[in-house]
Structure 1
Amino acid sequence: MSDTMGDPMGDPMAPGALPSLEDMQHWTGVIGRAQQMLMTHALKSWDPAKAQAMIARMPSPFAELPVAPAGGDVIAQSMAQGMAVWQQGLDFWAQMSGLDSTASDKDAEETKAPPADRRFTDPAWTEQPAFAFIRQSYEAIASQLETMVDAIDGIDPEQKAQMRFTTRGFLDAMSPTNFAATNPAVLRRTIETRGENLITGLANMLADLDRGQLRHTDSGAFEIGRNIAATPGKVIHETRLYQLIQYAPTTETVLEVPLVIFPPWINRFYILDLNPKKSFIAWAVAQGLSVFVVSWKSADASLADIEWDDYVAAQVDAVDTIRDVLDVDAVHAIGYCVSGTTLAATLAMLTARGEAERIKSATFFTAQVDFERAGDLKLMTGDEHLKLIESLETDGYYDGRYMAATFNALRGRDLIWNYVVNNYLMGEPYPAFDMLHWNGDTTNLPAKWHRGYLKDLYRDNKLVVPGAMVVDGTPIDLTKIKTPAYIQAGREDHIAPAESVWRMMDHLAGPKQFTLAGSGHIAGVINHPDAKKYGYWTNDNPDVAGFEDFVAGATQHEGSWWTDWIGWIREQDYGEVAAKGARIPGKGKSKAIEDAPGRYVKTR
Structure 2
Amino acid sequence: MAQPATDPPAGKTDPPAPKTDGGAKPATGRPADPPEEATEAALGLDMVLVDAARGPLRRVIPPAGTALRLGAALARQPGTVVKRTGELARELGRITVGSSELAPGKKDKRFADPAWTGNPLLRRVMQAHLATARTAWELIEDADLDWQDDERIRFTATNLVDALAPSNLPVVNPLSLKAAIDTGGGSAVQGVKRLVRDLATPPRVPSMVEPDAFTVGEDLAATPGKVVFRTPVFELIRYTPTTETVREVPLIMVPPTINKFYIADLAPGRSIAEHYVGSGQQVFMMSWRNPDERHAEWGLDTYGQAILDAMDAVERATGSERVAFQSFCSGGIILAMVLAHLAATGRQDRVTAASYAVTVLDWSRAGTLSALMDEEAVKAATEKSRKKGYLDGAQLAEVFAWLRPNDLVWNYWVNNYLQGKPPPNFDILFWNGDTVRMSAALHRDFIEIAVGNALTEPGRATMLGSPVDLSAVTVDSYVTAGVADHICPWQACYRSTQLLGGDNRFILSTNGHIASLVNPPGNPKSTFQVAEATPPDPQQWLEQAETVKGSWWPDFMTWVGERSGGEVPAPTTPGDLEELGEAPGTYVFDK
Q: TM-score range by the shorter chain?
A: 0.7 to 0.9
1:197 to 180, 187, 208: 187
Residue 233 (str. 1) matches residue 225 (str. 2) = yes
Give 1:35-50 correspondences, 5 Å limit.
none
Question: What is residue 140 of structure 1 aligned with on the other side?
Answer: 131
Which letter does structure 2 place at the counterpart of 1:455? E
The residue that corresponds to 1:596 in the other structure is 583
Indicate conservation of the 8 Å contact 2:385/2:440, yes or no. Answer: no
Output the amino acid matched with 2:579. A
Letter in 2 for 1:92: L
Q: For 2:74, give the aligned amino acid.
A: V
Gaps of 5+ in 1: 1-53, 99-106
Residue in 1 that maps onto 2:143 = 152
What secondary structure sits across from 2:236 in the alignment? strand
CA contact (8 A) 2:506 2:534 kept: no
User: What is the CA distance between 1:455 and its match in structure 2?
Assistant: 2.6
CA distance in 1, matches of 2:523, 2:105: 32
Residue 256 of structure 2 aligns to a residue in which SS?
A: coil
Query: Structure 1 residue 76: deviation in Å?
Result: 3.6
Of 179-188 and 161-170, more deviation after overlay is shown by 179-188
Q: Distance in 1 between matches of 2:351 and 2:529?
A: 26
DSSP 3-state at the match of 2:435: coil
Distance 1:590 1:380 in 2: 47
Identical-pair percentage: 33
Distance in 1 (CA, whole Å) between partners of 2:165 and 2:57 is 24
Q: Given the superposition, is the C-alpha separation of residues 602 and 71 from structure 1 closer, same or farther in structure 2, using an over 3 Å criterion?
A: closer
Show the counterpart of 2:537: 546
Question: What is the aligned residue count?
Answer: 535
Cα deviation, residue 152, structure 1: 2.0
Higher mean C-alpha deviation, range 296-305 or range 255-264: 296-305
Contact preservation (8 Å) 2:159, 2:405: yes
2:452 equivalent among 451, 460, 468: 460
> Are 2:129 and 2:165, in contact at CA under 8 Å, matched by a contact in 1?
yes
| Matched position secondary structure for 1:251 | coil
Worse-matched range after superposition: 65-74 or 433-442: 65-74
Are 1:425 and 2:412 matched, yes or no?
A: no
**1:485 maps onto 2:472 in alignment:** no
CA distance in 2 between partners of 1:287 and 1:533 (Å)? 22
- Matching of residues 52-63 of structure 1 within 5 Å: 61-63=61-63
CA deviations on 1:541-568 (whole Å, 9 max, x unpaired) are x373421111112111111011111111
Cα drift, residue 369 of structure 1: 0.5
Q: What TM-score do you get using the length of structure 1 for normalisation?
A: 0.84
From 497, 509, 518, the equivalent of 1:505 is: 497
Q: Is the 8 A contact 2:95 2:128 kept in 1?
A: no
Once the two structures are TM-superposed, the CA of residue 390 in structure 1 deviates from its matched residue by 3.4
Counterpart residue number, 1:348: 340
Aligned pair partner of 1:207 in 187, 190, 197 = 197
Once residues 578 and 272 of structure 1 are traced to their aligned partners in structure 2, the CA distance between those partners, rounded to angstroms, is 25
Query: Structure 2 counterpart of 1:439, which letter?
Result: N
User: Residue 536 of structure 1 is aligned with which of 528, 548, 553?
Assistant: 528
Letter in 1 for 2:130: E
Give the distance between the partners of 1:314 and 1:55, measured in 2 at CA: 29
SS at match of 2:562: helix
1:451 corresponds, among 427, 444, 454, to: 444
Q: 1:112 to 1:370 in 2, by over 3 A?
A: closer
C-alpha RMSD of matched pairs (Å): 2.4
> Structure 1 residues 409, 390: CA separation in 2 closer, same or farther (over 3 Å shift)?
farther
Does the CA contact (< 8 Å) of 2:225 and 2:239 recur in 1? yes
2:349 maps to a residue whose letter is E
**Letter matched to residue 141 of structure 1:** T
CA distance in 1, matches of 2:531, 2:214: 40
Distance 1:280 1:82, change over 3 A: farther
Larger CA deviation: 384-393 vs 411-420: 384-393
Does the C-alpha gap of structure 1 residues 56 and 193 become closer, same or farther in structure 2, counting only changes over 3 Å? closer
Match for residue 92 of structure 2? 92
Q: Does 1:562 align with 2:553?
A: yes
Match of 2:389 among 385, 389, 396: 396
1:441 aligned partner: 434
Q: Distance in 2 between matches of 1:113 and 1:174?
A: 15
Question: How far is 1:297 from its partner?
Answer: 0.8
Q: Which of 160, 166, 175 is the equivalent residue of 2:165?
A: 175
Alpha-carbon distance in 2 for matches of 1:78, 1:485: 54
Q: Give the conservation status (yes or no) of the 8 Å contact 1:260–1:294.
A: yes
Q: Is the 8 A contact 1:260 1:291 kept in 2?
A: yes
CA distance in 1 between counterparts of 2:415 and 2:200 reads: 19
Counterpart amino acid of residue 413 in structure 2: V
**What is the distance in 2 between the residues matched to 1:71 and 1:222?**
50
Structure 2 distance, partners of 1:558, 1:494, is 23
Q: Which residue of 2 aligns with 1:163?
A: 153
1:12 is aligned to: none
Q: How does 1:348-367 map to 2 (within 5 A)?
A: 348-367=340-359
Is the 1:299–1:397 contact (alpha carbons within 8 Å) kept by the matching residues of 2?
Answer: yes
With normalisation by structure 2, the TM-score equals 0.86
- Measured against aligned partners, the alpha-carbon deviations of 1:327-386 in whole angstroms (never above 9, x if no partner) come to 111101011001111111111111011110111100111111001134545555334543
Alignment-derived partner of residue 75 in structure 2: 75
- Tell me: CA distance 1:239–1:113, structure 2 relative to 1, closer, same or farther (3 Å): closer
Shift of 1:497: 0.6
* Structure 2 equivalent of residue 36 of structure 1: none
Contact 1:68 1:74 in 2 (8 A): no
Contact 1:57–1:391 (Cα < 8 Å) also in 2: no
Q: Structure 1's 569 and 115: CA in aligned 2 closer, same or farther, altered over 3 A? A: closer
The structure in which a higher percent of residues are helix is 1
Change (3 A) 1:389 1:403: farther
Contact 1:323 1:329 in 2 (8 A): yes
Letter in 2 for 1:66: T
Show CA shifts across 1:444-496 (max 9, x none). 11012112211321x22111111101112111111111101111111111111
Could you tell me how far apart the structure 1 residues matched to 2:157 and 2:163 are?
10
Q: Which has the higher contact order (CA 8 A, sep 6+)?
A: 2
CA contact (8 A) 2:497 2:534 kept: no
> Are 2:229 and 1:217 equivalent residues in the alignment?
no
What CA distance in whole angstroms lies between the structure 2 residues aligned with 1:245 and 1:55?
35
- Conserved in 2, the CA contact under 8 Å of 1:338 and 1:367? yes
Residues 191, 384 of structure 1: CA spacing in aligned structure 2 closer, same or farther, 3 A cutoff? farther
Confirm or deny: 8 A CA contact 1:517 1:524 kept in the other structure. yes
Deviation at 1:95, TM superposition (A): 4.7
**After alignment, is 158-167 or 554-563 more displaced?**
158-167
Partner of 1:6: none
Q: Distance in 2 between matches of 1:402 and 1:72?
A: 35
1:474 paired with 2:461, answer: no
Check conservation: 1:229, 1:597, Cα contact below 8 A. yes
1:304 to 2:291 alignment: no
Alpha-carbon displacement from aligned partner over 1:110-159 (angstroms, at most 9, x marks no partner): 35798652211111222222111111111111111112222223x43122
CA radius of gyration, larger in: 1
